[in-house]
Amino acid sequence: MSQENVVREQEGLRRFLRKKESWRKYFMKAALVLVVILLAGTAFASRYSIVGDPQEVRCIPGYTVYLLDRKNTTPVRGELYAFKSKDLSPIYGKGTEMLKYLRAIPGDVVEVRENNQVFINGKPSVMGLGLAEEKLGQPANNFYGKTTLGENQYWFLGTSPESFDSRYWGAVTGESIVGRAYPLF
């Protein structure tokens, strides 16, 4: 590189370094970026929230943290939803948000049989009624029966035999659905 080119580069670097922005202009740009970040965060938080599963025995093994979309309350069979519970004393109070899979929708036939297995439209689903005597002090046969879900009735189940779900307290209404949940970790 020639001496002339080196001098030109050094002069260009000096001019670049001298062209500093004023603090006022810098703070205006920073404030604009901050406002955009806050607006985006507010828009996200108005629809989504991060929720945890506080239960000791996970009804959906492998996950404890979920992204909850509070604007998506349209029930779709097989998807995971959060909903507000009925009064589930002594285990949970009224309005406790629960996470379960939607397994049956209006018009479906749900049957809890003597072998403690749940059938939906004649097909086996989950097994277990272990919480009947252990937590509720009732024999499992108190929960046996067959029903056809009416309009606006939804049947939610966990994936574990120890899940406290519709096997014990029946259908949930559409108004109780808080939003669709997505497992994170």
Sign of the Cα torsion 137, 121, 74, 102 reads positive
Question: Angle 141-92-64 (CA atoms, 0-180°, nearest 5)?
Answer: 105
User: Hey, which residues does 155 pair with through a beta bridge?
Assistant: 104
Residues 37 and 179: their CA atoms lie apart, in Å, by 25
User: Model pTM?
Assistant: 0.80
Residue type, 55: Q
Residues 88 and 46: their CA atoms lie apart, in Å, by 29
Q: What is the mean pLDDT of residues 11-21?
A: 70
Residue closest to 89 by CA, chosen among 175, 164, 185, 179: 164
For 90-138, the pLDDT digits (tens) are: 888 888 889 999 999 999 999 999 989 999 999 999 899 988 888 889 9
Contacts of 69 (CB under 8 A, 6+ apart): 47, 48, 179, 180, 181, 182
For each of the domains in the chain, give its residue range(s) and CATH number, in order of start. Answer: 3-47 (no CATH), 53-183 (2.10.109.10)
For 17-66, the pLDDT digits (tens) are: 666 678 888 899 999 999 999 999 999 999 999 998 877 667 777 889 99
